[in-house]
Amino acid sequence: MSATSFVRLLERVGAQGEGLLAYLGGLGYLALDVLKHTFAGLVTRPRIKADETFFQMVRLGVRAVPIIFLVQLLVGMTLSFTLAPVLSDYGQLDKLATVISKAVFPQLGPLLASVVLTGFAGAAIAAELGTMVVGEEIAALRTSAIQPIRFLVVPRVIACILMTVALTVLANVVGTAGGGLVAYLVLDIDPWQYYHTAINSLIIKDVATGLIKGGIFGFIIVIVSCYEGLSVTGGAGGVGRATTNSVVRSIFLIITANCAFTALFYFVW
């Protein structure tokens, strides 16, 4: 490699690194603004509208219930089919419920629920806010001395975090039940034995880890989606790019955060 090619490579790497830092900085500033307006909306006027937050919870989260239910049911069934031969070879088939519950509650439940919710809530938020930017509705709010962050972003943040945690609970229960369905119908394991084994194997750390991750993943989804939507340029094409970017980048950050928090909980909890 010539010196000129090496210099150009360094320039491209530097430009990519600068872009990444600028993007993370933008997310950080938006997150700080959201926290500031959330606390302000709890104690000063205009207050955070409970009806708007509830509407966003229904619109962003309830629609995802059927698909999350189906995905987690199939994941739990797949885990049973995959783990049963291995556990049977070691004479530990009675530990199937333990392995599945330990995999679903702290890991697969919050992770898959968040990834699925990204396609529902994340894409919807980015497209909606992006359309408002293109239609100059955001500019009109600022002209009317209305803070778009408090009026548009904060209710979505609260709704997305709460619904991600709630859907994580659903995903945990359904995923474990899916494994139990295969255990009963295919492996002839008594359902009550499976249920009691799964419950007795769980500890507070397993449940709390999944719920904490669910809240963090929900925050990632809504912050990335709002940032992409509010940063739209270029008309309808920009809205499409923002929607795609919100989904792809949210999933990447969710998986990265899952790895980081798993390692953190492993060493400190």
Q: What is the pLDDT of residues 116-125, one digit of tens each?
A: 999 888 999 9
> Residues 203-236: pLDDT tens digits?
999 999 999 999 999 999 999 999 999 999 887 8
Cα end-to-end span (Å), the chain: 48
Return the ∠ at Cα 119 (arms to 117 and 124), rounded to 5°. 100
Query: What does residue 80 show for φ and ψ, rounded to 5 degrees?
Result: -60, -50
Q: What span, in angstroms and rounded, lies between the C-alpha atoms of 164 and 213?
A: 9
Q: How buried is 142 (Cβ within 10 angstroms: 0-12 exposed, 13-18 middle, 19+ buried)?
A: exposed
> Residues 33-63: pLDDT tens digits?
999 988 887 777 777 888 888 999 998 888 8
Radius of gyration of the chain (CA): 22
How confident is the model at residue 166, as a pLDDT? 95
In three state form, how does the secondary structure of the chain look? CCHHHHHHHHHHHHHHHHHHHHHHHHHHHHHHHHHHHHHHHHHCCCCCCHHHHHHHHHHHHHHHHHHHHHHHHHHHHHHHHHHHHHHHHCCCHHHHHHHHHHHHHHHHHHHHHHHHHHHHHHHHHHHHHHHHHHCCHHHHHHHCCCCHHHHHHHHHHHHHHHHHHHHHHHHHHHHHHHHHHHHHHCCCCCHHHHHHHHHHHCCHHHHHHHHHHHHHHHHHHHHHHHHHHHCCCCHHHHHHHHHHHHHHHHHHHHHHHHHHHHHHHHHHC
How confident is the model at residue 1, as a pLDDT? 59
Q: What span, in angstroms and rounded, lies between the C-alpha atoms of 130 and 146?
A: 18
Helices 65-89 and 154-185 sit at what angle, rounded to 10 degrees? 40
Domain extent listing, the chain: 48-268
pLDDT at 261 over 80: yes
Place of tokens 């189906």: 70
Average pLDDT value over all residues in the chain: 90
How confident is the model at residue 12, as a pLDDT? 82
Q: Averaged over 3-18, what is the pLDDT?
A: 76
What is the amino acid identity at position 194?
Y
Q: Which of 11-15, 55-59, 248-252 comes out lowest in average pLDDT? A: 11-15
How confident is the model at residue 42, as a pLDDT? 76
Q: Averaged over 240-258, what is the pLDDT?
A: 94
> Residues 101-141: pLDDT tens digits?
999 999 999 999 999 999 888 999 999 999 999 888 888 88
pLDDT at 176 over 90: yes
What is the amino acid identity at position 262?
T
* Percentage of the residues of the chain whose pLDDT score is greater than 70: 99
